[in-house]
Amino acid sequence: MFSLFYGLWKYLFSKTEFHVLILGIDKAGKTTLLEKLKSVYLNLEGLPPDRIVPTVGLNIGRIEVSNTKFVFWDLGGQPGLRSIWEKYYEEAHAVIFVIDAACPSRFEDSKSALEALSAEELAQYLDIKKLDERVYMFEAASAFDGMGIKEGVEWLVEVMERSKRTETLRIRAGITGPN
């Protein structure tokens, strides 16, 4: 009986901690995004952009939104560091892939800077249909003024609870429903 109630209590009240990887090539803006996330959700100042240096190891940020706990892992994007990414895939519930929409070398038209480039165009450019079954969305965002950040996080909160990936990780960790 106790274990039944304990199971129910645990199911209802223990908060899942979602692990979100922040990936993208070097200088894409990952760490600046992480600092902005912290400042938006923790009411902290966060590191100003001019004090952020290229990431060699790992930066971690924890926030809580609508009763959902997030742990963000921001990894370095320099070519020699990308082989480390895969070590984190197994534990990750979701990935935020940061693309510098204003980087000319990444786009055929260097004039397609952020203001000119819609999320739909970017999706088309990346032929995102290849991600088929995975749940994904694009959010045009600015780690400077915070544009798009809350919208992106709210979307994550909404989809992660019921995503297949979350279920898989729960089963692996032995966390199941009350039955």
Q: Which residues are at the interface with Mg ion (CB under 5 A)?
A: 30-31, 55
Instruction: Fill in the DSSP letter of residue 178.
Output: -
CA distances from 20 to 1, 35, 123, 127, 166 (A): 36, 14, 21, 23, 11
Assess 71 for contact with ligand GTP (CB under 6 A).
no
Assess 32 for contact with ligand GTP (CB under 6 A).
yes
- Amino acid identity of residue 62, one-letter, is R
- CA angle (167, 173, 178) in 5-degree steps: 65
CA atoms within 13 A on the CB side of 134: 12
153: number of Cβ within 10 Å: 22
Considering only the stretches 71-79, 126-134, 159-167, 171-179, report the one whose residues sit in contact with ligand GTP under the rule CB under 6 A: 71-79
Assess 46 for contact with ligand GTP (CB under 6 A).
no
Pick from 18, 19, 21, 30: which binds ligand GTP (CB under 6 A)?
30
Strand partners, 39: none
- Which of residues 143 and 156 has its CB atom nearest to ligand GTP in the complex? 143
Pick from 18, 72, 77, 153: which binds ligand GTP (CB under 6 A)?
77
Question: What is the binding site for ligand GTP (CB under 6 A)?
Answer: 24, 26-32, 49, 52, 54-55, 76-78, 142-144
